[in-house]
A and B are shown apart, each in its own frame.
Chain A
C-alpha cells in the first residue's frame, strides 16, 4: 500500500502533462510520460526520508509514515488539475500571477507537513517547523537543480525574473 500514493501522483502528473502538452491522452502517452517524470516521486521519497528516518518518537511504522506523508500531494495535485484546465484556454499567464498562484499549494503543503511532523513524528511545534523547512528545502533545491539543467544554466532563469 505504501506505493499507492506515489504511483498515483506519477500517474496524475503524467496525465496532466499529456493533456496540456498534446491536447489528448492515450494509455501509451500516459505510461511514457508518467514513467519519464517518475523521478519526481523519488525526490519526494528522499525528502520524506530526510525527516522520517531520524524521527525517534514516531507513533507509526516507517512505511506507514511514508504513506501518510505522500497524502500531502493533495494541494499540488489540485493545482495541477487547475492548471490543466486553465492552460488550454489561457496558455500565456503573466509570471507574477503564476507565482501568486503557486503560493497557495506551497503554503498549504507547508501546513500539512508541519501537522504531519507534530502528530505522526511526535515533534514539537518548533521542531516541526524546522523539519518542514528542511523538507521543503530538499524539494525546492532539487526543483531548482532540474530547472538549471532543463534551461541550460542560470541565464534564462535570471532573464525570466528580469535580471
Chain B
C-alpha cells in the first residue's frame, strides 16, 4: 500500500509544480482614450469568509490574472471581508479593491460599491439606494431578473447609479437573458445616464473577470472609478466579449482594446489532471 500512495503523492506534487511554473500573469497594460483611463472592473464578487471560495488575497491575485484593474468584494449583507481585503491590499501592487456589499433582500439584490458600513437590507430598494448614497457609494441593481426584477419601481430606478446588464444569469436561463435585455431597454429609455455594468458575480466557479465592466475613469483610483459609474461612463461586457452601453463609449472601448481573455496557462490541464489523480490515489489507496 505504501508504494501506490507515494506514487499518488508524487503525481500531486508534480501537478502542483507544473501548475506553479506554468502560471501566466498578463502584463499590466494601461489604456487611455479621450483623456480617460479605460479600466477593467468587476463590482460584484464574493470572497471567503463569506459566500466565496477564495480568501481576499487569493481573489485579488485571480483578479490580476484575469486582467482586472479594479474589483469590489460584495458579500451578502456584510462588509467585513471587503474591508479586510482593502486593508491587505493597501501596500502592494495589484488591482484596486473597493469595499462593497450585495444588499440581499427578499425581492431585490443591490450592489453597494464604495461604502464603509453595512447597509440595512430589510427595507425598500429606494431606501437602500439612499442609504448607499449617504455613505458616498454607488448603487447597482444586481441581476434584475426573475423574482429580483419586480421590486425595481420607477422611484428606485430613478436614483440608481447603474444596473447589471451582463451577468452569468444570461447563460443560465433564456428568460433571464430576456429580462436583462428588457430591463436595459426600459431603464435606458428613461434614464440614459444609468451605467450598464458587467459582473461575474464570482462565488466558487468560473472566472472572476469573465463578465466585466470597462470604466472610463479620469484617474486610476477607487474614487475616480465610482465617479465614472455615477456619470454613466461604463461599458458592460459579457462572456463572449459582446459590449453593451452607449454606442459612442462602446466604440471607444472596442477601439482601445486588446482586452479580454488572459493568456491560458501553459500545461494547465496537465497540472489539474495530475493533482486530481494524485488526490484520488491518496483517498482510495
Give the interface SS of chain A, mostly helix, strand, loop or mixed. Answer: helix
Given A12-B279, A19-B275, also A25-B19 (CB < 8 A): yes
Of A28, A32, A37, A74, the residue contacting B283 (CB under 8 A) is A74
Contact A151 B271 (CB under 8 A): no
A104 interfacial contact with B, CB 8 Å:
no
Contact B49 A149 (CB under 8 A): yes
A161 interfacial contact with B, CB 8 Å:
no
A residues less than 8 Å from B252 (CB atoms): none
Contact A151 B51 (CB under 8 A): yes
Of A37, A85, A155, the residue contacting B104 (CB under 8 A) is A155
A147 to B244, CA, bound (A): 35
Write the nearest CB–CB distance from B176 to chain A, whole angstroms.
11
Selecting from A55-63, A76-84, A108-116, A134-142, the interface stretch reads A76-84
Contact A155 B55 (CB under 8 A): no
Contact B205 A20 (CB under 8 A): yes
Contact B54 A21 (CB under 8 A): yes
Of B12, B23, B280, the residue contacting A24 (CB under 8 A) is B23
Using CB atoms, name the residue of chain A closest to B21.
A26
Given A12-B283, A81-B280, A85-B276, also A23-B121 (CB < 8 A): no
A152 interfacial contact with B, CB 8 Å:
yes
Question: What 0/1 readout, one digit per residue, does chain B (271-285) give for beta carbons within 8 Å of chain A?
Answer: 110011001101110
Contact A26 B55 (CB under 8 A): no
A8 interfacial contact with B, CB 8 Å:
yes
Using CB atoms, name the residue of chain A closest to B207.
A23
Of A8, A16, A87, A155, the residue contacting B121 (CB under 8 A) is A155
Write the nearest CB–CB distance from A124 to chain B, whole angstroms.
31
Question: What 0/1 readout, one digit per residue, does chain B (2-13) give for beta carbons within 8 Å of chain A?
Answer: 000000000010
Using CB atoms, name the residue of chain A closest to B77.
A152
Interface size on B, residues (CB 8 A): 47
A residues less than 8 Å from B58 (CB atoms): 22, 29, 32-33, 36
B residues less than 8 Å from A156 (CB atoms): 76, 104
Given A8-B282, A36-B48, A151-B104, also A27-B20 (CB < 8 A): yes
Question: What 0/1 readout, one digit per residue, does chain B (48-87) give for beta carbons within 8 Å of chain A?
Answer: 1111011101100110010000000001111000000000
B153 interfacial contact with A, CB 8 Å:
no
Using CB atoms, name the residue of chain B closest to A81.
B280
Write the nearest CB–CB distance from A145 to chain B, whole angstroms.
12
Write the nearest CB–CB distance from B270 to chain A, whole angstroms.
11
Q: Which of B196-224 contact A (CB under 8 A)?
A: 202, 204-207
Contact B16 A30 (CB under 8 A): yes
Contact A152 B276 (CB under 8 A): no
Given A20-B53, A20-B205, also A152-B104 (CB < 8 A): yes
A residues less than 8 Å from B23 (CB atoms): 24, 26
A residues less than 8 Å from B275 (CB atoms): 15, 19, 25
Interface of A with B (CB < 8 Å)?
8, 12, 15-17, 19-30, 32-33, 36-37, 74, 77-78, 81, 84-85, 87-88, 91-92, 149-153, 155-156, 159
Task: Given A19-B275, A36-B49, output 4 extra A-B contacts at Cβ < 8 Å.
Answer: A17-B54, A26-B23, A74-B284, A152-B75
